[in-house]
Amino acid sequence: MKRLIYLFLLLLPTYCLSSVNLDSLYQEVLNSKNDIEKINSSVEYIRFCYTKDEKNFKLVYERLNKLLKNEKSSDYKHETTLKLARYLSRIGAFKEAKQLLKLSLSQQNNEFNNNWKSIYFFRLSKIYFEEGERKMVINYIDSSLKYLNKEDSLLRISYIMEKGRAFYDLGDYAKAMELYVIAQKQFESYNIRDINYGMLMHFIGSVFKRQNNDARAFDYYEEMLEVAIEIHDKHLEAEAYSLLADLYAYAGDYEKEEEYLYKALNIVIDLNDELAEAHILLAIVHGNIYDHKYKEALIKLDRIQDIVKKYNITEYDITINRYLGKIYSRMGKYEKAMKFFELAILAANKREEKKMLNLSDIYRNIAVSSYKNKSFKNAYEYLDLHLIYKDSLLNEENQQIIHKLEQQYENQKKESEIIALNKDKQIQEKELSKQNVMIKAFLVGLLLTLLLASTIFYSLTQNKKKNKIISSKVIELAEKNKEITDSIQYAKRIQNAILPPNKVVKEYLQESFILYKPKDIVAGDFYWMEQKNEEVLFAAADCTGHGVPGAMVSVVCNNGLNRSVREYGLTDPGEILNKTREIVISEFEKSEEDVKDGMDIALCCLKYKIENENLENSKTVALLHYAGANNPLWIIRKNSKTLEEIKANKQPIGKFDNPEPYTTHKIILEKGDTIYVFSDGYVDQFGGEKGKKYKASNFKSLLISIQAKDMNEQKEIINKTFETWKGNLEQLDDVCVIGVRI
C-alpha cells in the first residue's frame, strides 16, 4: 500500500527515452500469443507512443479496450486500467484517460469493491490536476474519501494532502493549511516519517513562503531535508536543497543559494535524473548570468538543450532562448542575441500559460539590448511593447491594444510582400528596357529620398513629443512616490504617538531598556505601557505582518489594550488579554471580509512592596503577574547562570479555533532579578556564516552572559549582536525587546 501511495503522490511525470523503437514495440503487440501478453505489450506501446504514430495508436488503444472488457481477473483488470490511464495522461491524452476510467466506473459489478472505486476517483482527480481543473480535483477527492475503507489510513492521508494542494493552487491558503495540519497530525499519530511526510513539509513550507513568512518556510524545508536524509531518499533531498536555495536567494545570500543548488545538482546527476538536472541547471544559469559568468552559463545551456532535445520537451524553450539572448547581449553580440530573443517570442506565442508575462520580459530584454547597441528607436519601440504587455497582466482591456499591434504587424508584413513583388516586377522590366529602368530608378531614388527626409523629420517630431511624455511621466511617478513616502512617514508619526514616551517609561521602570527596530518605516510590533494605582502594566506585542498592514493592525490591538484597562478597569494580565481578544475580534468582524489578523503578546503587571519594613535588613520585593499569547516571559535571577522561562498560551489575540482563557502566572521577584519580554523578530533573523536563524537558544546565552552589565549597556550589546549577525542580509521582521531589572 505504501508503494501505491508513493506512485500516486509523484509530482512530476516520468518521461521515457525518445530513442525507444516504436516499430519493434508495435510488432510485439501484433505477435503476442495470449490475452495477457497482448494487454501488457499494448500498454507498453502506449507508454512510449507519445502519439507519434496516430494510426497505430488508435488501433492498439481500441484493441486494448476490448481485451480489458473481457478480462476475468478483476484485480489485474483494475491495475492495468489504472496503469493505462496514468500513461495516457502522461502523453497528454487526458480525454481518453478520463473516458477509460469513467467507463470502468460505469461498468460496476459485485467485484468492483469500494476501495477500487476510491482509487479510480483519485486517479481521475490526478488527471484533472494535470489539466489545471482544481475544483474538479476537490470534487473527485471527496468521492475518493467517501468510498475509501476506514482502516486504510495512510491512503486517506495522501488524499487529504492532494486536496490541500488543490486549495493551495486556488489561493485558499487557510483551507490548504487546515488540511495539511490534519495530515501532519495523522503522520505523527502513526509515527511515520516517509517520503509523503517529507512532501507534506514541502507543502506546508510553500504556504508560509506564499505568505512571505520565509522564516517558517525555512523551518519546514529544513525538516523536509532531515526526513530525506533520514529515509535515504535522494530525490526528496535534492528537492529540499532546491527549495532552500530559493529562500537563500530571496534573503540575498547568493553564495548559499549556489552551494545548495550544486548539492541538488550532484544528487540528480548521481541518480541519472536528467529532467531534474535540466531544471536545476536553469536556476544555476540564472545566477551565472547575474555574476557575469557567461561562458559557464553557455556550457550549462548546451547541456540543458541536449536533455530537452532527448526527451522532446518544449516547456523550457522560452527560458533557454531568453537566457541565450541575455548572455549574447551582455557579451556585445547584439545580432546573435536578437535571433534568440525572436525564438523566445515564437515559443511564448505557442504557450498560452504566462504568455503575457513571458513576452513582457522578453521585450524588456530586447529593449535593453537595443539601447546598449545604440539602436534607440528599437529600444523605445520594444520598451513600449514591454509596458503594454506588462499593463495587460493587470488590465484585461489592454488585450485590445495587443490585438491592434498584432494587426499592424500583419499589415506591415503584407506591405513587405507587396514591395517584394514590385521589386521582382522592376527586375523583369529592367531586362525589357534599360532606359525605362533608369528613369524608374531615378524616380524611385527621388521618392525614397523624399520619403527618408519626411521620415526623419516625422521621427524627430515624434521623439520630441515622446520625450516630453516620458519626462512628464517620470516627474509624475516621482511625485506619487514622494506622496506615498510622505504618507507613510506621517503614519509613522501617528504610530509613534501610541507608543509610551521614553520619559514615562523611565519614570515607572527606572532600570530598563526598550530595543525597537521596525523592519520598514512603520511596524507591526509595538510596546505598550499603562500605570494604574500602584501597578505598572507593560507589554511587547507582535501584530500580523509588518510595514503598513502590520501598523494598521497594531493600532486596533493597542486600542484593545487601552480599553481593557481604562474602560473596563482590568489589571490582571489574563483578564486583559481575554477582553482585548474580544475587542479585536469585534472590530474585525465589522468588515465584510474574513479578517483573521491579530497579535502575539507578552503582558506584565508589576507591583513593588517592602518586606520586613521594621527591620534593617528589609528588601524590595516585586510581585509580577504575567500572561502571554504565544510570546513567553524570561527571568534571570540575581547572580544566576540559568534562565527561567514562563510559557505563554499557544493562541493569538484574534480568531482561533477552540479558544481558551489566558492564564495569569504569578511570580515573586527580588532586587537584582531581570525580566525580558520580546517579539520573535530577533530570534528569527537570518545571518551568521551559514545564513541560518539566530534562534532562541543563542539569545538566552547572550542575555545570561551580559547580566553584569547595566540595562543601557545591555541594550547596546543586544543591538550590536543583532546587526553583526544580520550582516548584509535584509532584516526579516520587526524587532522589539524589553528588559527590566528589579
SS (H, E, C) 545-613: CCHHHHHHHHHHHHHHHHHHHHCCCCCCHHHHHHHHHHHHHHHHCCCCCCCCCCEEEEEEEEEEEEECC
pLDDT band at 27 (very low <50, low <70, confident <90, very high): low
Q: Report yes or no: 193 and 2 within 8 Å, Cβ to Cβ.
A: no
Q: Report yes or no: 497 and 507 within 8 Å, Cβ to Cβ.
A: no
Q: Report yes or no: 571 and 537 within 8 Å, Cβ to Cβ.
A: yes
Q: What is the pLDDT of residue 199?
A: 93
Region 359-382: mean pLDDT is 77
> Tens digits of per-residue pLDDT, 472-516?
665 666 566 666 666 676 667 777 777 888 888 888 898 999 999
CB atoms within 10 A of CB 376: 11
Residues 6+ positions from 253 with CB-CB distance below 8 Å: 686, 691, 729
CB atoms within 10 A of CB 84: 23
Residue 180: its H or E element: helix 173-190
Among left, alpha and beta (phi > 0; psi -120 to 50; other), residue 658 is: left
Residue 119: its H or E element: helix 114-131
> Is 531 exposed, middle or buried (CB count within 10 Å of its CB: 0-12, 13-18, 19+)?
middle
295 versus 440: the higher-pLDDT residue is 295
Q: Report yes or no: 64 and 42 within 8 Å, Cβ to Cβ.
A: yes
Strand stretches in 230-334, DSSP E: none
> Tens digits of per-residue pLDDT, 38-87?
556 555 655 555 444 455 555 555 555 665 565 554 666 677 777 777 76
The region of weakest confidence among 182-186, 546-550, 665-669, 708-712 is 546-550
Residue where the block lists cell 517520503 = 195
Q: What is the pLDDT of residue 360?
A: 76
Region 4-25: mean pLDDT is 40
Residue 588 pairs in a beta bridge with none
Residue 140 pairs in a beta bridge with none
Cell numbers at residue 405, please? 499591434
User: d(Cα 56, Cα 61) in Å, to the nearest integer?
Assistant: 8
Residue 228: its H or E element: helix 214-231
The one-letter code for the residue type at 401 is I
User: d(Cα 218, Cα 220) in Å, to the nearest integer?
Assistant: 6
**Highest mean pLDDT out of 286-290, 403-407, 518-522, 528-532:** 528-532
Q: What is the pLDDT of residue 38?
A: 56
User: d(Cα 236, Cα 640) in Å, to the nearest integer?
Assistant: 45
Q: What is the pLDDT of residue 244?
A: 94
The region of weakest confidence among 142-151, 379-388, 637-646 is 379-388
Residues 6+ positions from 704 with CB-CB distance below 8 Å: 636, 641, 642, 643
User: d(Cα 734, Cα 731) in Å, to the nearest integer?
Assistant: 8
The one-letter code for the residue type at 522 is V
User: d(Cα 699, Cα 219) in Å, to the nearest integer?
Assistant: 18
Distance set, CA 697 to CA 600, 682, 684, 694, 712 (Å): 20, 12, 11, 8, 23
Region 404-432: mean pLDDT is 50
Mean residue pLDDT of the chain comes to 78
The region of weakest confidence among 381-395, 416-430, 495-509, 690-704 is 416-430
Is the pLDDT assigned to residue 2 strictly greater than 50? no
Q: What is the pLDDT of residue 373?
A: 78
Residue where the block lists cell 465584510 = 592
In the Cβ-directed half-sphere of 272, how many Cα atoms lie within 13 Å? Answer: 3
pTM for the whole structure: 0.47
User: d(Cα 359, Cα 344) in Å, to the nearest integer?
Assistant: 8
User: d(Cα 597, Cα 546) in Å, to the nearest integer?
Assistant: 12
Q: What is the pLDDT of residue 658?
A: 86
Cell numbers at residue 604, please? 506584565
Q: Report yes or no: 365 and 322 within 8 Å, Cβ to Cβ.
A: yes
Q: Report yes or no: 367 and 382 within 8 Å, Cβ to Cβ.
A: yes
The region of weakest confidence among 161-170, 226-235, 494-503 is 494-503
